[in-house]
Copies of this chain bind each other. A is one copy, B any other.
Amino acid sequence: MQLTRFSDISLRLLLYLACRDAASPTVTARATADIFAVPYTHMVKVVHLLGQHRIILTTKGKGGGLRLGRPASEIRVGDILRITEPNKAVIDCFTQPCPLRFDCLLKYALDDALEAFYQHLDKFTLSDLAKMSALKTLVQLSA
């Protein structure tokens, strides 16, 4: 069971933004794509979705770029993944229809287990996880 690449990029981007000084100049989507060596088009999609949910604020024009939409201490990791993970269930009962799909106790157990996964991550904010020396170094090197 793995997070999507989309969530992976989202988390890396948000941790990077969380580690930056609020007074720093904004950073562009292209720059963050380069920093994490991910395709620019993927980063743009991530920025778009997180922008829709006001996790990120984007400004255009000279000096424009990306910032967190609210303090890193108020953005919970579980809530990020509830936005970025496309599938709300960990098992697909319908594409290859399962004969148990309308009466399945397993599905309820899996749904609740996924919520336990998210709730564990709700204990952490971006601020908690951004306290990594490697991340601070990365921010300094890319300043």
User: A residues within 8 Å of B by Cβ?
Assistant: 1-4, 7-8, 11-12, 15, 35-38, 77, 81, 85, 87, 89-92, 96-100, 102-106, 109-110, 112-114, 116-121, 123-124, 128-129, 131-135, 138
Q: Which residue of B lies closest to A92 (CB)?
A: B2
Known contacts A113-B120, A119-B116; is-contact A134 B2 (Cβ 8 Å): no
Known contacts A2-B91, A87-B2; is-contact A11 B138 (Cβ 8 Å): no
CB contacts (< 8 Å) of A37 on chain B: these are 96-97
A2 engages B90 (CB within 8 Å): yes
Give bound CA distance, A77 to B104, whole Å.
Answer: 14
CB contacts (< 8 Å) of A11 on chain B: these are 91, 106
CB distance from A7 to the nearest CB of B (A): 8
Give bound CA distance, A119 to B96, whole Å.
Answer: 28
B8 engages A100 (CB within 8 Å): no
A106 engages B138 (CB within 8 Å): no
A106 engages B129 (CB within 8 Å): yes
B132 engages A38 (CB within 8 Å): no
A15 engages B106 (CB within 8 Å): yes
